[in-house]
């Protein structure tokens, strides 16, 4: 059963509150991650923040509390967390620079496509399945690199796990980018009369 326009315009919903908390935890994550001796806690916090992405989406559907603002701030929160994790990873040299450049380039490209759709065509591009799947894998992969950077006895195991999740996640996210670009291009096609 679909929601009314009034229900879609709600701002104060439990899923939106969870997303807001997730956004507010990102500066805490960066603060903790700035020092190598706190990387275990940082990796665990990123995992927890990433898990709330699934929780707020589940609650939005289960409680019939999906909202227009939720569809905007939820992927924005994911993007902010991935960028913050990239900054921490760069600061502490946790993953190769070329990989960080690829991650940042993809995030910038998606942001430009979404902004173009919003500003030029006055429309919002819904999140695609590839985007959700790729983000989930990235949310698993980056914390493993942080745990590896903590110089634990499992350093090489955590690094391998980081690549196992991060690389396929990034490939899937590029498929999502292609899908967003295709949607954007379809907005420019004149409608047949």
Q: Which residue from 62, 73, 86 is spatially nearest to 18, judged by alpha carbons?
A: 73
pLDDT digits (tens, 9 = 90+) for 131-171: 989 999 999 999 999 999 987 787 889 999 999 999 999 99
Residue 152: predicted pLDDT: 76
Q: Where are the domains of the chain?
A: 5-186
The CATH fold of domain 5-186: 1.20.120
pLDDT digits (tens, 9 = 90+) for 96-126: 999 999 999 999 999 999 999 999 999 989 8
With a cut of 80, say whether residue 188 has pLDDT above it. no
pLDDT digits (tens, 9 = 90+) for 7-54: 567 888 999 999 999 999 999 999 999 999 999 999 999 989 988 888
Residue 190: predicted pLDDT: 64
CA gap 23, 81 in Å, rounded:
8
Residue 189: predicted pLDDT: 66
With a cut of 70, say whether residue 6 has pLDDT above it. no
Residue 3: predicted pLDDT: 58
Torsion 168-131-183-79 (CA) sign: negative
pLDDT digits (tens, 9 = 90+) for 63-101: 999 998 998 899 899 989 999 999 999 999 999 999 999
CA gap 181, 24 in Å, rounded:
30
Evaluate whether 145 touches 166 at the Cβ level (below 8 Å): yes
Evaluate whether 66 touches 10 at the Cβ level (below 8 Å): no
Give the predicted TM-score (pTM) of the model: 0.86
């Amino acid at each position: 059963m679909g929601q009314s326009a009034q229900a879609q315009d709600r701002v104060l919903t439990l899923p939106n509150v969870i997303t807001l908390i997730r956004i507010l935890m990102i500066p805490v994550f960066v603060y903790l991650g700035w020092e190598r001796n706190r990387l275990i806690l940082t990796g665990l916090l990123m995992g927890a923040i990433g898990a709330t992405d699934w929780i707020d989406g589940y609650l939005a559907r289960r409680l019939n509390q999906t909202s227009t603002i939720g569809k905007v701030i939820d992927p924005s929160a994911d993007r902010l967390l991935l960028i913050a994790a990239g900054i921490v990873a760069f600061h502490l040299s946790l993953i190769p620079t070329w990989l960080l450049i690829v991650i940042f380039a993809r995030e910038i490209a998606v942001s430009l496509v979404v902004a173009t759709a919003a500003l030029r065509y006055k429309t919002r591009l819904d999140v695609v399945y590839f985007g959700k799947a790729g983000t989930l894998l990235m949310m698993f992969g980056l914390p493993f690199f942080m745990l590896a950077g903590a110089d634990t006895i499992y350093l090489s195991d955590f690094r391998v796990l980081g690549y196992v999740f991060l690389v396929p996640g990034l490939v899937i996210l590029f498929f999502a980018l292609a899908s967003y670009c295709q949607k954007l291009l379809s907005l420019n096609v004149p409608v047949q009369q």
